Amino acid sequence: MSGPHLINDEDLHAYVDGALDEERALQVKEALMDNAALAERVALFQADKAMFKAVYGPLVRRPLPADWLARVHRRPRMPWRLAGAIAAALLVLAIGQLAWRHYLPVQGSDVVDVALDARDGSPAGERHIIANDEAGRYDAAFRQTIAANVRIPDLNRMGYRLYRLDLYDKAAEILYRGPQNQLFTLYVRRSDGPARFDQFERRGLRVCIWQDDQISTVMAGDVSPAAMQRLAAFSYTGLTS
């Protein structure tokens, strides 16, 4: 696309990163208010950014391994800029290997099984709240149960309406109904493992787990992989924003 008022992906990425000048940022903001497809795309970019920050952000703060530094110091005549470049390249390579493993599908996960059990039945000790589309009304109860700064996502833009909230011991399940009354669920509890993002099939459902250092979220529904990617992005952004 071209022209001062037409928005492309470069503009959207820059908008998400806060890199646009004031005039262009205002144009993009106005376009997002009028164009649901653009707004959805920005939500996806924001979700991707949040995911990578949660997964790989801690690596930036870690010191370089001692054996890497030892290799650099064993070359006394190497210019310091070149030594730094080599160390940076090694770090990028390590992150790339982690990223490759990050996207491999998992074979099993305790939180996934717990979430799907909750979806299939009713664990003991739960409290049901029959909800409506005003998701914000239930944020306090949800936040208190999870003991984290979270809120119930509003998925109306995706065609999914909130209809029930199940509260367990330090976990909650949020239930939505889609355009054809199909069930979509979010199971949320405090995180008990490393950051991760996976999407796979389990028990005849499309499942996505999105975990950071604060919460574990398992999303499940009878949807396509592409639809789950969009729902996951909106759900995670809604939970944490």
Quote helix, strand, coil % in the chain, to nearest 5: 50, 20, 30
What pTM did the predictor assign? 0.59
Q: How far apart are CA 111 and CA 144, in angstroms?
A: 20
Of 43, 50, 240, the closest CA to residue 157 belongs to: 43
Residue 103: predicted pLDDT: 44
Assess contact for 225 and 206: CB atoms under 8 A. yes
Residue 212: predicted pLDDT: 86
Write out pLDDT tens, residues 122-161.
Answer: 666 677 777 665 667 789 889 999 999 999 998 988 899 9
CATH fold of 110-240: Protein Transport Mog1p; Chain A (3.40.1000)
Measured between alpha carbons, how far apart are the two ends of the chain, in Å?
30
Residue 146: predicted pLDDT: 93
Extract the residue ranges of the chain whose pLDDT is less than 50. 1-4, 97-109
Residue 221: predicted pLDDT: 96
Residue 108: predicted pLDDT: 43
